Structure 1
Amino acid sequence: MQSYSEWSDAQESTTLTVDGQDLEVAYYEAGTGNGDPVVFLHGIPTNSYLWRHAVSTVAEEHHVVAPDMIGYGNSSKFDGFDRSLRAQEIAIDGLLADLGFDTVSLVGHDLGGGVFLRYACHEPDTVERLVLSNSVAYDSWPIQTITDLGLPESARQNSPEEIQGMLDGLFRQTLWGDDPDEAFVEGMKAPWNSEDGVTSLVRNAIATNTNHTTEVDPRNVTADTLLLWGLEDEFQPVEWAERLERDIPQCELVGLDEANHWVPEDRPDAFVDHLRTFLS
């Protein structure tokens, strides 16, 4: 399994214009399979390394791309641009055009699921299949931890060491089981280990806007949809998935036990098995 540094070294990057600003988007790319391209998108406070287990397997049959959202990972993190779901959707649209993808399958977790829910509503002809994993939707978010992190003084009052400690505790307390993979924990923390990283994380948190999920109607999703949900999630409980299942016309909910919010890490084998079956 790749370390975060190996994952980062393997990433490509492209420059996209989002709301008139040129922003760099880093992405991990693998596979040349005949199936529809599959795009994976993470949430907050993670990065594309969240998908380390899934991409190598899915890439056996599909062309796979896993970007870092703007403001995250190795994408642009300087201060002074919009990091909302609306802006992330624009960036994804630009990345898909840059890569020459006409139709895609989308796999989104947390905020990434919210971005892809918007995209599937707005670009129904582009999205063949949609997978939402413990995704934000409706007014299910932001959680209190992110709301508190998004206070402007958080960027001024917290050092990189303090943010590293906060994130370390967050992941260790919410990953399933008592022995989290150190490579994963370190990979989730690494992009924020600088003053610029702290500011970017705070700006990402303050950009969480319920309006950007309540303004779209999941009933407009036309793609075949799989809800792959960790049943022990304290951040996005399964009740939100059950509501999505009722609203999205062609939708199936699969609940995974012994999985908290970080489902691709908590239950990697089960996650990949269900994903491969659905995508094929």
Structure 2
Amino acid sequence: MTTTEKPEIGQSAEANGIRTNYLEAGKGDETVLLIHGSGPGVTSYANWRLVIPALAEDFHVFAPDMVGFGYSDRPEGIEYGLDTWANQTVGLMDALGIRQAHLVGNSFGGAIALRIAAQHPERVGKLVLMGSMGVSFPITEGLERVWGYEASFESMRKVLDVFAYSRELVNDELAQVRYEGSIQPGFQEAFSAMFPAPRQRWVEAMATPEEQIRALPHRTFIVHGREDKVIPVSNSYQLEGLIDNADLAVFSHCGHWSMIERTADFNRLVRDFLLSE
């Protein structure tokens, strides 16, 4: 999947002026681009490690670290925001010679995918939105906890508590690994600069106007965990109502980590959707 012994680090390309770390797998005729969420210490590998091998059987898969996250550069003075991340993603497609890609966006990544589809509809094949932002909603206590993370083991444990429905997934070992990931040089400094309080304004800043979402022509598949405490499942019902050619799957006994808590179901449904005519 990657070219280094550290699986989070793959290859790099200049994307709209930002040196971007990305993972690459598969050699299919069609391209899938995976856009991760905004949890503290997140990387594309942490989000998509269980999804990439399954999709790579049929598609050429790319999974970049958005600027401010993971192992992409954090240029001094950069202004973090939806357009910055959307332009970075399109810039990566340009750098890699990708004319069009299916976009799979998780949470914050769903908001980025929606913005790209609205601004550059010809660059997008199909859309998959998982636990997606992109519309206005009253910020949840869970999202407040995620975006308000302060670097400590205890704070990471509280963040993980709202991500997953299954208590088996939330343990001290995982919390320690994710905490150590969040305190690598530059990680927490960038993260704390992105969504300072009051945080409702950043929910609005990640939204695409409803009239633009209604105009999307793309076939869209929406996935949400019924017990999601970070992004309310009502978001996905709203998106399904706005997008004319959208289908929705709601997973029971599942929180914000559909691709981790219901990996087999997520991979099967997304793969079948992307392969369908």
Same fold flag (TM > 0.5):
yes
C-alpha deviations, 1:42-69, integer Å up to 9, x for none? Answer: 1111321211111101001100001111
Cα distance in 2 between the residues matched to 1:148 and 1:260 = 15
Corresponding residue to 1:44 among 32, 38, 41? 38
TM-score (norm 2): 0.86
Query: Could you say which residue in structure 2 is the equivalent of 1:12?
Result: 11
Query: Could you say which residue in structure 2 is the equivalent of 1:93?
Result: 90
Q: Which amino acid aligns with 2:44?
A: S
SS in 1 for 2:220: strand
Task: Please state if 1:262 is matched with 2:257.
Answer: yes
Corresponding residue to 2:59 among 58, 62, 80? 62
Cα distance in 2 between the residues matched to 1:169 and 1:61 = 37
Classify 1:267/1:148 alpha carbon distance in 2 versus 1 (closer, same or farther; 3 Å): closer
Q: Which amino acid aligns with 2:8?
A: S
Q: How many Å apart are 1:185 and its aligned residue?
A: 5.0
Q: Which amino acid aligns with 1:218?
A: I
Cα distance in 2 between the residues matched to 1:132 and 1:265 = 15
Contact 2:82 2:205 in 1 (8 A): no
Equivalences for 1:35-184 in 2 at 5 Å? 36-45=30-39, 46-49=42-45, 50-77=47-74, 79-140=76-137, 142-144=139-141, 147=144, 160=151, 162=152, 164-180=153-169
Task: Please state if 1:271 is matched with 2:270.
Answer: no
Q: How many Å apart are 1:118 and its aligned residue?
A: 0.7
Contact 1:79 1:199 in 2 (8 A): no
SS in 1 for 2:51: helix
Task: Please state if 1:199 is matched with 2:195.
Answer: no
Query: Could you say which residue in structure 1 is the equivalent of 2:205?
Result: 211
Query: Could you say which residue in structure 2 is the equivalent of 1:30?
Result: 25
Contact 1:108 1:133 in 2 (8 A): yes
SS in 1 for 2:231: coil
Contact 1:230 1:260 in 2 (8 A): yes
Structure 2, unmatched stretches of 5+, are none
Cα distance in 1 between the residues matched to 2:6 and 2:266 = 23
Corresponding residue to 1:244 among 229, 239, 248? 239
Classify 1:5/1:202 alpha carbon distance in 2 versus 1 (closer, same or farther; 3 Å): farther
Cα distance in 2 between the residues matched to 1:205 and 1:145 = 14
Classify 1:146/1:247 alpha carbon distance in 2 versus 1 (closer, same or farther; 3 Å): closer
Cα distance in 2 between the residues matched to 1:224 and 1:173 = 30
Quick check: 188-197 or 140-149, which moved more?
140-149
What is the alpha-carbon root mean square deviation over aligned residues?
A: 2.7
Q: How many Å apart are 1:181 and its aligned residue?
A: 7.0
Cα distance in 2 between the residues matched to 1:88 and 1:221 = 20
Q: How many Å apart are 1:5 and its aligned residue?
A: 6.9
Classify 1:116/1:102 alpha carbon distance in 2 versus 1 (closer, same or farther; 3 Å): same
Percentage identity across aligned positions?
Answer: 24
Cα distance in 1 between the residues matched to 2:110 and 2:247 = 15
Classify 1:271/1:247 alpha carbon distance in 2 versus 1 (closer, same or farther; 3 Å): same
Q: When the two structures are aligned, how many residues end up with a matched partner? A: 265
Contact 1:143 1:235 in 2 (8 A): yes
Q: How many Å apart are 1:195 and its aligned residue?
A: 5.7
Query: Could you say which residue in structure 1 is the equivalent of 2:215?
Result: 220
SS in 1 for 2:79: coil
SS in 2 for 1:88: helix
Classify 1:181/1:54 alpha carbon distance in 2 versus 1 (closer, same or farther; 3 Å): farther
C-alpha deviations, 1:12-52, integer Å up to 9, x for none? Answer: 111233xxxx4221111000012x20000011113212111
TM-score (norm 1): 0.85
